[in-house]
Structure 1
Amino acid sequence: MPAITVADWTALPRVTAATAQTEDRAVVSITTAPQGYEGEGFPVRRAFAGVDPARLDPFIHLDQMGEVEYAPGEPKGTPWHPHRGFETVTYMIDGVMDHQDSHGGGGSITDGDTQWMTAGSGLLHIETPPEWLVRSGGLFHGLQLWVNLPRADKWKPPAYQDIRGSDVGLASSPDGGALLRVIAGEVDGVTGPGSTHTPMAMVHATLAPGAELVVPWRTDFNALVYVMGGDGYVGHDRRPIHTGQLAVLGHGESITVGASSGQESRHASLDVVVLGGLPIREPIAWAGPFVMNTKAEVMQAFEDFQKGRLGTIPTQKIPHGDVSGEIR
């Protein structure tokens, strides 16, 4: 995984070592993400499938995109589609993704970059691999996280943050066996560049075989650990966890993650994303690309989209058929 790294992890700031008095978060559940397809047909793992939404709040949805090696002509993206009422966080680990919206925003992300899009009151958006990558093929791997917005922020104007991999906050475990990349929020004094409407933290951690990481964590945040690749354990009771699994943790002051001494050939280390946020605790009505507080607001979003109020794409027809979904 070519996300940002440094040659000597031990030269980085160290997270505080846990003490015997620290309350470590116990595992509430471990689930395995089902696999499916998104957009024009790229493979995904649905990390939050089957998890109690109250345990996820303020997060809505998490897809692991890939990991897949495309042959020439195979790379795929998403067609134009609308969003309203939440934020999408796209973290690219391998490959390149171009993005563009109906407000004139856009850019490219690759190798540890993050595109943080606040949909707010609504916009149209597209994500595609660049033409040269379609011609050549190559490795594609990333994450897309959906973060809910509080009622007061759902109608704010759309906004972008393009976060370069070189801008993330870096730290290591006390023994130097784990590297932390803080994308958003703050972990033991190390701050990520992502600006969030809802207080939260997002960390990509890489653990060398046999290493253990104990991360100090805000007690008012929830805590989720998703394995992007590798084998290891979570919690002081060392519950086994592997690629494509999500651990939901209970209350506490720290999160323990460890890497197995032996890793499979495809993954030289254990890579996890650690998420936590302050629960919003508001009603959620969710259908397709719209996350609102009431069913009436979702139906209004569909109507606004159909009538072109979320924006238009010059000289290009918008595919209305890709936004259906059950209101939840």
Structure 2
Amino acid sequence: MSNVGLIIEERAANIGNFMVGRLLPFSQKRSVGPFVFIDHMGPAKMKDYENLDVPPHPHIGLSTLTYLFEGSIMHRDSMGVAMEIQPGAVNWMTAGKGVTHSERTPEYLRHSEKSMHGLQIWVALPKELEDCEPSFSHVEAADIPHWEEEGVSYKLIAGTLFDRKSAVPVHSPLYFLEIKNKEAASINIGEHLFGESALYILEGSIHSDGENYEPKHILIANDATLCSFDMAPNTTVYIFGGNAFPEERYIHWNFVSSDKEKIEAAKQAWKAQTFPKVPGETEFVPLPVYKAK
């Protein structure tokens, strides 16, 4: 039997003035380990009058991981952090009991042509940390563990794997691994993986269990310990996962929690605009009104 238990294809979603490819959550798979949300941003070529502008919006109960392949984003938050992220670096923001942030094209790029391409990821917090104080960490590209084996390049963006540990300060056992190659290669790393696991194909293709798989798909493994596949030349994949939490995680808009009452309280706080403010910003994203299905 194939080790691929489910295939998830990107679905178009609008995050304001920018279209993304939504990967998680999915109706048949709400999370993979602690990973509860993944958007593929771009690739997009933006004119000199086009910019990424996501005004201040709130989060609770999660950490956000922003990882870019191309472009640049200026992050500002209610903790007073103002940090530009560029390709290969990681912005890791832990919302805890509540944080507000904006994501925009940096000022020096707003009147020139530019590219945008990357991943926006949410990682749920353990129940005992859902109400922790917000925090922010930036890890430069040079500080992300990276190595090469048999012509294949590896980068451990977050978590612990292969007796290596990323500098990103995660809050539960997980991994987020980039694998890239130029020549065809066979990969067998199942003995190192744990918990739930999935593979995202960014470019190129892979062959596994007699099937070929193309870009913009997530493959959910039946058994992480059986992770083996062949990579076509010039392929890039991301393997992510980890230990799932014993409690279900609920998601409403930008709020994640094991407690529906906390989500309801966050909704009311955002409506009343009692969340902490981003210094220097007056705009905000209104709480969406979802139509009953």
Alpha carbons of structure 1 residues 99 and 111: separation in structure 2 relative to 1, 3 Å: same
**What residue is the counterpart of 1:36 in the other structure?**
13
Partner Cα separation in structure 2 for residue 42 and residue 113 of structure 1 = 21
Matched position secondary structure for 1:79: strand
Partner Cα separation in structure 1 for residue 40 and residue 199 of structure 2 = 13
Matched position secondary structure for 1:56: coil
* Contact preservation (8 Å) 1:81, 1:318: no
1:277-318 per-residue CA deviation (whole Å, 9 max, x = no partner) reads 110121222110111123221110112223343202446434
Alpha carbons of structure 1 residues 203 and 77: separation in structure 2 relative to 1, 3 Å: farther
Tell me if 1:249 matches 2:221: yes
**What residue is the counterpart of 1:15 in the other structure?**
none
Alignment partner of 2:212 out of 240, 252, 269: 240
What residue identity is the alignment partner of 1:88?
T
Alpha carbons of structure 1 residues 238 and 172: separation in structure 2 relative to 1, 3 Å: farther
Matched position secondary structure for 1:185: strand
Partner Cα separation in structure 2 for residue 60 and residue 110 of structure 1 = 24
Alpha carbons of structure 1 residues 322 and 308: separation in structure 2 relative to 1, 3 Å: closer
Tell me if 1:204 matches 2:178: yes
Alignment partner of 1:149 out of 96, 105, 125: 125
Q: Runs of 5+ in structure 1 lacking a partner?
A: 1-23, 262-268
Tell me if 1:295 matches 2:272: no
Partner Cα separation in structure 2 for residue 229 and residue 275 of structure 1 = 16
Alpha carbons of structure 1 residues 217 and 89: separation in structure 2 relative to 1, 3 Å: farther
Matched position secondary structure for 2:270: helix
TM-score (norm 1): 0.82
Partner Cα separation in structure 1 for residue 61 and residue 214 of structure 2 = 33
Tell me if 1:98 matches 2:74: yes
TM-score (norm 2): 0.91
Alpha carbons of structure 1 residues 137 and 253: separation in structure 2 relative to 1, 3 Å: same
Partner Cα separation in structure 1 for residue 124 and residue 267 of structure 2 = 18
Tell me if 1:186 matches 2:137: no
Alpha carbons of structure 1 residues 106 and 216: separation in structure 2 relative to 1, 3 Å: farther
Higher strand share: 2
**What residue is the counterpart of 1:80 in the other structure?**
56
Alpha carbons of structure 1 residues 210 and 313: separation in structure 2 relative to 1, 3 Å: closer
Q: Runs of 5+ in structure 2 lacking a partner?
A: none
Alignment partner of 2:90 out of 114, 119, 133: 114
What residue identity is the alignment partner of 2:203?
G
Tell me if 1:60 matches 2:32: no
Partner Cα separation in structure 2 for residue 125 and residue 326 of structure 1 = 26
How many aligned positions are there? 292
User: Quick check: 302-311 or 221-230, which moved more?
Assistant: 302-311
Deviation, 1:44, is 0.9
* Contact preservation (8 Å) 1:150, 1:282: no
1:160-217 per-residue CA deviation (whole Å, 9 max, x = no partner) reads 11011111111223x22x1111011222122211111111001111122412222245
Alpha carbons of structure 1 residues 317 and 28: separation in structure 2 relative to 1, 3 Å: same
Partner Cα separation in structure 1 for residue 278 and residue 31 of structure 2 = 37
Partner Cα separation in structure 2 for residue 238 and residue 165 of structure 1 = 36
User: Quick check: 241-250 or 219-228, which moved more?
Assistant: 219-228
Alpha carbons of structure 1 residues 315 and 67: separation in structure 2 relative to 1, 3 Å: closer
**What residue is the counterpart of 1:266 in the other structure?**
none
Alpha carbons of structure 1 residues 208 and 320: separation in structure 2 relative to 1, 3 Å: closer
What residue identity is the alignment partner of 2:130?
K
Partner Cα separation in structure 1 for residue 156 and residue 162 of structure 2 = 10
Q: How does 1:220-299 map to 2 (within 5 A)?
A: 220-233=194-207, 235=208, 237-261=209-233, 269-299=234-264
Tell me if 1:71 matches 2:47: yes
